[in-house]
Amino acid sequence: MTDSWQAHLLTLFPDMFPGPLGVSLAGRALQKGIWSLDAKNLRDFASDKHRSVDDAPAGGGPGMVMRADIVAAGIDDARARLHDAPVIYLTPRGAPLTQARVHELANGAGAILLCGRFEGVDERVIEARDIEEISIGDYVLAGGEIAAMVLLEAIVRLLPGVMGSAQSGLDESFEGGLLEYPLYTRPQDFEGRAIPDVLTSGDHGKVSAWRRAEAEIATRLRRPDLWAAYKARGTREE
Ligand code: SAM
């Protein structure tokens, strides 16, 4: 029994972990035991002497497909150690990752993350093990490991005790449905560009109003999709 948030990785490249998650915020949190990482090699679940995990796609075509039986054995092994946690396959075919889903995952006990390689994973194991599919964006990576790291970094920074100040998460992009307002710090003059006067006025009410207005402008101009959702939410709440 552990209080750590548990990340169980199923991958052909366990040596890639913790990788960048071993430094900075996530690395310190890993050392402190706020979260734990267990990366298993899917080849350990293969039974032939070549430890093969893939085979040619049914119906023909390029590349190879990860076998359902081997992936299922890896998932069953991870589930025996981590019950009641979602199994997530990182795939471009998945639902786009959102900050809302990151919060839900951070509030749970952990996750079992399946990293694909080759052309992907046999569909039958996705159905049979009730696997959630998540995409980190509309582009194709060579494997799911870096996508899993993206998801893990987003989760770990939300775990209690990881971020320096509890406040630092609240105003951030996506938290209230808006992008963040623009940021400034010293020097006061940078190549003829000054910090907006309101930010040095000492008037907290004006600073808040300015930040809200700037967050709304940035969201409207840069992310019409988020802006529409934000406006719709406001209308429903009125
Ligand atoms: N044939 C797949 C397709 O067209 O959807 C792409 C396979 S990709 C070369 C190999 C693996 O990289 C995938 O199984 C998945 O685990 C991972 N991957 C690639 N792009 C990703 C993305 N945008 N989000 C999450 N995982 C991704």
Same domain, 135 and 25: yes
CA dist., res. 118 & res. 75, Å (int): 19
Q: What is the pLDDT at residue 170?
A: 73
- The pLDDT-based confidence of 234 (bands split at 50, 70, 90) is confident
Residue 163 included in any domain: no
Q: Which atom of ligand 1 is nearest to the CA of 118?
A: 10
Q: What value does the mean pLDDT of the chain take? A: 95
What is the mean predicted confidence (pLDDT) over 25-53? 97
Q: How many residues does the chain have?
A: 238
Same domain, 191 and 85: no
CA 118 / ligand 1 centre spacing (Å) = 8
Same domain, 10 and 123: yes
* Cα-Cα-Cα-Cα dihedral sign, residues 45, 47, 52, 55: negative
CA 141 / ligand 1 centre spacing (Å) = 5
Q: What is the CATH number of the domain that holds 47?
A: 3.40.1280.10
Same domain, 128 and 195: no
91 lines ligand 1 (CB under 6 A): yes
Residue 164 included in any domain: no
Same domain, 103 and 196: no
What is the mean predicted confidence (pLDDT) over 156-166? 88
Q: Which atom of ligand 1 is nearest to the CA of 139?
A: 23
User: Can you give the residue range of the structural domain that contains 111?
Assistant: 5-156
136 lines ligand 1 (CB under 6 A): yes
- The pLDDT-based confidence of 164 (bands split at 50, 70, 90) is confident
* DSSP secondary structure code for residue 121 in this structure: B
Q: What is the pLDDT at residue 3?
A: 87
Helices (H), the chain: 24-32, 68-81, 99-106, 123-128, 145-156, 204-222, 224-237
Can you tell me whether residue 226 is helix, strand or coil? helix
Same domain, 29 and 104: yes
Residue 114 included in any domain: yes
- The pLDDT-based confidence of 167 (bands split at 50, 70, 90) is low
CA 113 / ligand 1 centre spacing (Å) = 13
Same domain, 205 and 94: no
Same domain, 177 and 152: no
CA dist., res. 135 & res. 93, Å (int): 6
Residue 91 included in any domain: yes
147 lines ligand 1 (CB under 6 A): yes
- The pLDDT-based confidence of 168 (bands split at 50, 70, 90) is low
Same domain, 181 and 86: no
Residue 152 included in any domain: yes
What is the mean predicted confidence (pLDDT) over 50-64? 97
Same domain, 66 and 113: yes
Q: Residue of the nearest CA to atom 12 in ligand 1? A: 143
**Which burial class, exposed, middle or buried, applies to 95 when counting CB atoms under 10 A from its CB (0-12, 13-18, 19+)?**
exposed
- The pLDDT-based confidence of 74 (bands split at 50, 70, 90) is very high
Same domain, 103 and 145: yes
Specify the number of domains making up the chain: 2
CA 134 / ligand 1 centre spacing (Å) = 10
